[in-house]
A and B are shown apart, each in its own frame.
Chain A
Amino acid sequence: GDSVTQTEGQVALSEEDFLTIHCNYSASGYPALFWYVQYPGEGPQFLFRASRDKEKGSSRGFEATYDKGTTSFHLRKASVQESDSAVYYCALGPYQGGRALIFGTGTTVSVSP
């Protein structure tokens, strides 16, 4: 079945460091790709999405580009802040025939001042 793989389980950074979280997917169709962010005590918040090959999604300084060739949607931010400490989820869907989001296992990002 369809799946999402996030390579990094935990990432520790200092403020102003560059962040990359790798996300690869496997899907039989042509899904939309999403990034969600979850802060402590809250539910996942929608960050942004991309729906077609080479489309770039972005929000709050984060960005990712849909790459159908490498089946990837890597999250990047040039300069992180302590307030970016959170869990980040890559997800795919919904697409024709299904309505569920399929999530990766999440990446915990800790940014120290």
Chain B
Amino acid sequence: DTTVKQNPRYKLARVGKPVNLICSQTMNHDTMYWYQKKPNQAPKLLLFYYDKILNREADTFEKFQSSRPNNSFCSLYIGSAGLEYSAMYLCASSRTGRTQYFGPGTRLLVL
């Protein structure tokens, strides 16, 4: 089973409010990723956890937070949503250096 689950599937948020997205996998993968996908753009890596170590991309360092309380779960947290955060957020997981498997995504709309 290569299932990655994401909750919620759709999220409506107000400008300035926090947003928390959840991802889970049961494949015992050591690495979990968050990508952002906007229309007509390639999915863009925001951050990833290798085991308990968080790695954030330099250009999104201050915009997104994440936690991984155990091997199976990973969250993506936006402290204060802005209009520019409206996008599809994709979670993926993998064993180190191996194929990444994606969840169905969470579509976030900020108004």
Interface size class of A (residues with CB under 8 A): 20 to 34
Instruction: State whether B96 touches A99 (Cβ < 8 A).
Output: yes
| Most chain B Cβ neighbours within 10 Å, of A4, A42, A46 | A46
- A46: contacting residue among B42, B50, B90, B99, CB under 8 A: B99
Say yes or no: A43 contacts B90, CB within 8 Å.
Answer: yes
Query: In the complex, how many angstroms separate the beta carbon of B50 from the nearest chain A beta carbon?
Result: 7
State whether A99 touches B42 (Cβ < 8 A). Answer: no
**A21 CB → nearest B CB, Å:** 14
B79 interface residue (CB < 8 Å to A)? no
Contact status B31-A99, CB under 8 Å? yes
Q: Closest approach, in angstroms, between the C-beta of B55 and any C-beta of chain A?
A: 8
Q: Chain B nearest CB: distance from A25 CB in Å? A: 12
Could you list which residues of chain B lie within 8 angstroms of chain A, going by C-beta atoms? 4, 6, 31, 33, 40-45, 48, 50, 55, 90, 92, 96-97, 99-105
